[in-house]
Structure 1
Amino acid sequence: MRISVFVAASALFLSLFTACSKDKDQTPVPAQTPSEILASTAWETTSAKNAQGAQVALTDDNVKNFVGFAYFKASTKFTMYNLDNSPKMKGDWWLSPDGKTRFIIARNDAGTELFRREVEITVLARTEFTYRIYPNAANKAVYFDIVHTPTTHVEPGI
């Protein structure tokens, strides 16, 4: 009887001790806002899909202008580069309050607005950023999802 009480007490102690100790990998990550997630890493376009979910080559005319590296700064400035590191655009960015829409204003070196773009975000997580483009804004049945994943690629010129 004493042995079983000792074994039970030891098991209880070990379970409490184990439950109180935390491995670094198990430490919860603080919650981030959608803007903080977008600004937390550099992003690389890694794939594109059509409305049927089929893969689309990144060289396809419907998606090639959206391919590259993107750097969204916490200061709400952004820079984008083509995959060969040539400059693509820079300017200002922000997200809608619900984090479901990204807005950019592309600017030239003098700061003059070149164009504005608004895209629907379909995924925004620490491991993926995907937005949807419509070749014809009047036809929501035809679209392409542009998928980005985090990259360690250093921003050119930095």
Structure 2
Amino acid sequence: MQNRIAPSRGTMIVASVVTAVAIGLVPAGGAFAAETTAVPVSVSAAASTTSPSDVLSGTPWETTGAVDQDGNVVPLTDEAVVNFVGWAYYGTDGTFTMYDLADAPKMQGDWTVSADGAERTLVAKDAAGEVLFERTVPITVLTADEFTYRVIPDAADPATFYDIIHTPTDHPEPLAEAPVDEEVVTIAPDGDAADGEASDELAETGNAGPIVALVAGIVALLGGAAVYITRMVRRGRTS
């Protein structure tokens, strides 16, 4: 009976090299995923040393409530406030993106907060960077735990208003996938968008499908080469 020949040291080295190369070619999990906003960081510095801009950009925000001028709670589905509901991401670079609670893009552009924290200004822009509109609203609360601004539907009647309440969220920024058709949004009084007037779409994320398929093919070829080399070595030892 012919003795089974153990794989030679050379065969094992070849197989190891092929395996290492194959592993190196496979992308790490999530390597082709679109970037998302990191988990929010709470403001830990003393209020006297933290600027209003730092507070606003210190975390993503979620609309969690609304009250009218009489202190009555207004449902977020009410037509008077629904246009202001969603996720808001204020970047430290002075840019912002906003989405509705279904993660659909609402608008993007630049933002600022006055040095005293009394006002927020948005400059909404389309995908080409052209200015669509500019809106400034009064801020009633701006802390690490709450951001509330005031919406006055009719400038001639400032006694009637709605305070839109936001609290920190760990909701990651949605993937900015461009819709097939131009998204339709309406510019609300404070500059937040809702259904109605045209607004440009956000940037489309990449597609990693073809790259993954190519890498898989390369790995399969390397695996075949390893088997072939092993067989040739065995034949040489038995001939």
The TM-score with structure 2 as length reference comes to 0.53
Q: CA deviation at 1:59?
A: 1.3
Partner of 1:99: 117
| Alpha-carbon separation, structure 2, partners of 1:61 and 1:30 | 38
Q: CA deviation at 1:89?
A: 0.4
Partner of 1:78: 96
Partner of 2:72: 54
2:45 to 25, 30, 44: 30
Q: CA deviation at 1:46?
A: 0.2
| Alpha-carbon separation, structure 1, partners of 2:98 and 2:167 | 14
Identity of aligned residues (%): 50
| Alpha-carbon separation, structure 2, partners of 1:149 and 1:97 | 21
Q: CA deviation at 1:119?
A: 0.6
Asked which structure has the greater CA Rg, the reply is 2
User: After the TM superposition, which segments of 4 or more aligned residues of structure 1 sit over 6 Å from their partners?
Assistant: none
Secondary structure of residue in 2 paired with 1:60: coil
Q: Which runs of 5+ in 1 are unaligned?
A: 1-27
Equivalent residues in 2 for 1:1-158 (5 A)?
29-31=44-46, 32-157=50-175
Secondary structure of residue in 2 paired with 1:35: helix
Higher share in strand: 1
* Letter of the 1:42 counterpart: P
Kindly provide the CA deviation profile for residues 113-158 of structure 1, in whole angstroms up to 9, marking residues without a partner as x.
Answer: 1111111000000000000000101211100000000000000127
| Alpha-carbon separation, structure 1, partners of 2:44 and 2:165 | 23
Q: Which runs of 5+ in 2 are unaligned?
A: 1-42, 177-239
